[in-house]
Amino acid sequence: MSDAQITTFFLGTHDFAATILQGLLHDPRFNIQRVITQPDRPIGRKQELQASPVKIIAQANNLTLEQPASLKNYNFELHNSPTSKKFPDLAIVAQYGLMIPKHIIESPKYGIINVHTSLLPHYRGASPIQSALIAGEKKTGVTIMLMDEGMDTGPILAQEEIMIDPDDTYESLDKKMAILGRDLLLKTVPGYCMGNINPQPQDSNSATICKKLDRDDGRVDWEKPAQELYNLYRGLYPWPGIWTTWNNLRVKLLEIRPNTLRLAPGSLKVEKNTLLVGCGDSSIQIIQLQVEGKNPQSAESFIAGYDPHNQNFV
């Protein structure tokens, strides 16, 4: 490859991807010809359509933007190319969220590079950051990889580790990893395009898979240890969140922390406006919660308004 800019398509949707896109825009080596993101989605009780973070960045920078509902029959060719070039040199994917078919993977000259949020082959799949937190991992990392038709099975170009803080949630770790991924991508791609980096195959025998998460994954089992429940909270914050039931009502647990007091699983105890719930080995302190049909509230407000004595969480 010469010193010419790398003609690039970018595919991404979420905050992590927006950070990656901003990094590419500030690097003169990349010429972002097109941004592809998911269609606007209905959000909240009113189900109002909301643009993705990537769409917001693309529009602010006057980039060509497309939002196909599927890539099955999507045209990945350059539009109005000033040269005879038919496809982009490269495509970069970060938290895009839709399947990328074979005809797209094979179109760019240098292939499609994915910024994956785990140390592959561990945590292949849709929820690598969440799954690492739920499992109580002490470290994770970012992998820059070439895509193939498998699920995160392509060869590796570069990896970098990051330590997980004990109180990291998905929200905080995702932000740290976005910066790490941005910097590693910008450091890796030009060398790869110049032929200085040889893609390394993954060891599929060591692979682990993580699934797509939904609200049911946040149901709390009070028989489990406090740290395990806290890890579940960390991995699922802010979405889909963890929840339980009380008085036949669904209760979202918006902020919790482990406590050493031993209580029977699911039983509630109030100590000086502190709300504790028993679990498998000790207890969990509830700091903020939301009862079904109500606004979020502090534990103190819940105690004052609902008198939870002699009621259990189940």
238 with 286, same domain: the answer is: yes
Q: What's the pLDDT tens digit per position in 214-256?
A: 999 999 999 999 999 999 999 999 999 999 999 889 999 999 9
Q: In the predicted model, is pLDDT for residue 268 greater than 70?
A: yes
User: Which of 156, 190, 210 corresponds to the end of one domain?
Assistant: 210
Name the pLDDT band for 128 (thresholds 50, 70, 90): very high
- Please provide the DSSP assignment of the chain as one string: --SS-EEEEEEE-SHHHHHHHHHHHT-TTEEEEEEE-PPPEEETTTTEEE--HHHHHHHHTT--EE--S-STT---SPSS-SSS--S-SEEEEES--S---HHHHTSSTT-EEEEESSSTTTTEES-HHHHHHHTT-SEEEEEEEE--SSSS-SPEEEEEEEEPPTT--HHHHHHHHHHHHHHHHHHHHHHHHTT----B---GGG--EEPPP-GGGGB--TTS-HHHHHHHHHHHTTTT-EEEEETTEEEEEEEEEEE-----TTBEEEETTEEEEE-SSSEEEEEEEEETTS--EEHHHHHHHH--TT-BB-
Report, as an integer, the average pLDDT of 96-108: 96
Q: What pLDDT was estimated at residue 83? A: 67
* 190 and 101 inside one domain: yes
**pLDDT of 81 over the 80 cut:** no
* 19 within domain boundaries: yes
Is residue 26 pLDDT above 90, yes or no?
Answer: yes
Listed residues 210, 235, 256: the one ending a domain: 210
What domain count does the chain have? Answer: 2
> Do residues 200 and 267 both lie within one domain?
no
- Over range 38-65, report the average pLDDT: 93
111 and 12 in a common domain: yes
Letter string b/e over residues 250-286, b meaning 16 or more CB atoms within 10 A of that residue's CB: ebbbbebebbeeebebbbbbeeeeebbbbbeebbbbb
Whether residues 227 and 267 share a domain: the answer is yes
Q: Which amino acid is at 272?
A: K
Query: Is the confidence at residue 169, as pLDDT, over 60?
Result: yes
CATH of the domain at 68: 3.40.50.170
Look at the block and give the residue holding tokens 């820059």.
144
Kindly state whether residues 77 and 26 are assigned to the same domain.
yes
- Tell me if 14 sits within 8 A of 54, measured CB to CB: yes
- Domain containing 117 equals 6-210
Q: Point out the domain boundary residue: 210, 239, 258.
A: 210
Could you tell me if residue 261 is inside a domain?
Answer: yes
Question: Has residue 255 been placed in a domain?
Answer: yes
Pairing of strands 209-210, 124-125: parallel
pLDDT at 3 over 70: no
Mean pLDDT along residues 249-275: 94
